[in-house]
Amino acid sequence: MHILSLGEKIKKLRKEKNMTLKELAGDRITAAQISHIERDKSHTSYELLDYLAKRLEVSTDYLLETKEMQAKKITDNLILQSEIYIKSDALEIAEEHIIQALQICKEYNLTDNYGKCNFLLANIHLQREDYGNAIGSFERALFFFIKNNDKKNIFKCYLYIGEVYNKEEFYKGAISHFNFAEEILDDINEEDVNLYKELYSKMASCYMKLDQPQNSLKYIEKINDLERNNSVKEEAEMIVLKAKSLFSMSNYEESKEYFRRALELIEKEEDKDKLAKIYLTISDVYSNIGDSEKVLEYSQKAYDIKKNDEDQYMLDGLFHMIQSYIDEGEHSLARKYCKLTLASSIKNKNKMCEYKSLKFYADIYIKEKEIDLAIEYISKCIAIVSNLEEPKLLANLYIELGQLYSYISKEKELEYYQKGVFVYKNLEII
């Protein structure tokens, strides 16, 4: 990956072909002139370059390629490799490639790729949960993206910085950056409605954490408006109409591009994970304001689009539904869905979700004053959580079990209270 001057390229190619200066010069110029060119002491005409390219069996474009152009190609390649390594969780190798690319970008003033490298570096920090360095790298990337007016990447930086602030519970900072991201989306007339949905769901969640339910509901309503106005089928139909119109005007290449976009839209399944996550976020917002009907509506949506995948999003959708049914006193429906989550959790050996399913059963029996059954299920929960690294959860279960035994046995009540308090003390909670 050497970046060569014109003279260095000619000399390298000549040596590889075992040619002398005189052999390369032929009858067109002198060996001394070739020597000057190889040492970058002499300028050449295009005709002479064409002659040398033919003698060296390369293209003239290759010889004309400047150091900056070579640096751009090399860093483009390193960036692409880094993206692959990041997606493969080979973060150390990705970081090595990015640092190498950054050095080249700095030397040759490649501001576009300098921004991209910092953006990738920020994503590596994010995966490592190194939020301070992630913010720093995103802000450096943002500086270069703004300098190059790269609005799509400006949007991504604002979005990710907002997400980091959200994780760190700095909700005002998160909202501020989400607002910047929304302005950029509006400015570039982004057609991907799922980007808006993702952004609005994050904003709704932040406003709820700031105890501003009206602002939160405003962004949920924006999501609802998008869903009412932008079905995939309708969007595909509009693109096909445009493609047909272009075809009828003999604009075949442009028409072909629109037909391709329509086909991609029709064939490509919606990003179900992202959509499920949005619905679950909205469900959480409504849960915080006590609207069980809306909790059920949006958790049902998350479950419906993921029910064939049997993954964490499907289970989370069901868990939201179960909690809503318990809150509403619909215990038979809650049991029905508990049965589904328990079966899926056992099948996929997901112990945390198995615990959650059993805990819901216990909650139902507590509501129904079936204390013996509630104790049985809390005990099953303790058996599972004891093997997980969740000491606080275990302490809570001991305390809850102690409360249940208060109806039956003061001795057992004291025993489990003491177990819970012992774990709390180890955690320095009390």
* Residue 26, phi then psi, degrees to nearest 5: 60, -140
In the predicted structure, residue 345 carries a pLDDT above the cut 50: yes
- CA distances, 220 to each of 180, 181, 203, 232 (Å): 18, 17, 9, 20
- Which tops the pLDDT comparison, 262 or 125? 125
Does residue 12 have a pLDDT over 60?
A: yes
pLDDT greater than 90 at residue 63: no
Least-confidence region, from 45-54, 108-117, 131-140, 335-344: 45-54
Burial 372-393 (b: 16+ CB within 10 A, else e): eebbebbebbbebbeeeeeeeb
8 Å CB contact between 270 and 232: yes
pLDDT at 230 over 70: no
- Name the 3-class secondary structure at 38: helix
d(C-alpha 310, C-alpha 284), whole Å: 21
DSSP SS3 for 40: coil
Higher pLDDT, 295 or 427: 295
With CA atoms as reference, report the closest residue to 133 among 103, 106, 160. Answer: 160
Can you give the pTM of this predicted structure? Answer: 0.60
pLDDT in tens, 403-419: 999 888 889 889 999 99
Sign (positive/negative) of CA torsion 53, 56, 62, 64? negative
pLDDT, position 264: 66
- Rounded to an integer, what distance in angstroms lies between the CA atom of residue 22 and that of residue 394? 84
Q: How distant, in Å, are the alpha carbons of 105, 110, 113, 386, 394 from that of 67?
A: 12, 11, 15, 62, 62
**Confidence at residue 42, expressed as pLDDT on a 0 to 100 scale:** 78
pLDDT tens, position by position, 157-215: 999 999 999 999 999 999 999 999 999 988 887 667 788 888 998 898 898 888 888 88
Q: Give which of 173, 181, 157, 180 is closest to 209, Cα–Cα.
A: 173
Fold (CATH) for 272-370: 1.25.40
Greatest mean pLDDT range, 9-23, 45-59, 388-402: 388-402
Tokens coding 322: 């179960």
Q: What is the pLDDT of residues 319-337, one digit of tens each?
A: 999 999 999 999 999 999 9
Local confidence band at 269 (pLDDT 50, 70, 90 cut-offs): very low
CA distance 255 to 245: 8
**Neighbour-count burial of 110, counting CB atoms closer than 10 A to its CB (0-12 exposed, 13-18 middle, 19+ buried):** buried
Do residues 317 and 299 touch, judged by C-beta distance below 8 A? yes
Q: Report the alpha-carbon distance of residue 205 to residue 301 in Å, rounded.
A: 18
Residue 58, pLDDT score:
85
In order of 233, 261, 271, the CA distances from 268 in angstroms are 12, 10, 9
For residues 304 and 42, the model is more confident at 304
The pLDDT tens digits for 95-119 are 999 999 999 988 888 888 999 999 9
Q: Which of 48-52, 229-233, 291-295 has the lowest mean pLDDT?
A: 229-233
* Amino acid present at 162: G
pLDDT classification of 72: cutoffs 50, 70, 90: confident
Structure token digits, residue 43: 């300028």
The DSSP symbol for 18 reads T
Place of tokens 């409360």: 403
With beta carbons less than 8 A apart as the criterion, state whether 310 and 348 touch: yes
**Highest mean pLDDT pick, 35-49, 60-74, 380-394:** 380-394
CATH number of 6-65: 1.10.260.40
Region of poorest pLDDT, from 6-10, 138-142, 180-184, 232-236:
232-236
Percentage of the chain beyond pLDDT 70 is 89
Task: Give me the pLDDT at residue 244, please.
Answer: 65
Task: Specify the range with the lowest mean pLDDT, choosing from 85-94, 263-272, 328-337.
Answer: 263-272
**SS3 labels along 65-117:** CCHHHHHHHHHHHHHHHHHHHHHCCCHHHHHHHHHHHHHHHHHHCCHHHHHHH
- Burial grade of 288 (CB within 10 A; 0-12, 13-18, 19 or more): middle
Please give the Cα distance from 364 to 329 (Å, whole number): 9
Following DSSP, what letter does each residue of 201-226 receive, concatenated?
A: HHHHHHHHHTT-HHHHHHHHHHHHHH
Q: What is the mean pLDDT of residues 82-106?
A: 91
Average pLDDT over residues 62-82: 85
Distance from the Cα of residue 130 to its chain's centroid: 16
Q: What is the DSSP string of 108-156?
A: HT-HHHHHHHHHHHHHHHHHTT-HHHHHHHHHHHHHHHHHTT-HHHHHH
pLDDT for the residue 394: 92
Share of the chain above pLDDT 90, in %: 40
Task: Using the Cα atoms of residue 389, residue 395, residue 398 and residue 400 in order, give the sign of their dihedral.
Answer: negative
Which pLDDT score, from 0 to 100, does residue 255 have?
A: 65
The pLDDT of residue 6 is above 80? no
Indicate whether 339 pLDDT > 90.
yes
Return mean pLDDT, the chain. 86
Q: What mean pLDDT comes out for the span 40-46?
A: 80
Least confident segment among 17-21, 125-129, 171-175, 367-371? 17-21
- Let me know how long the chain is: 430
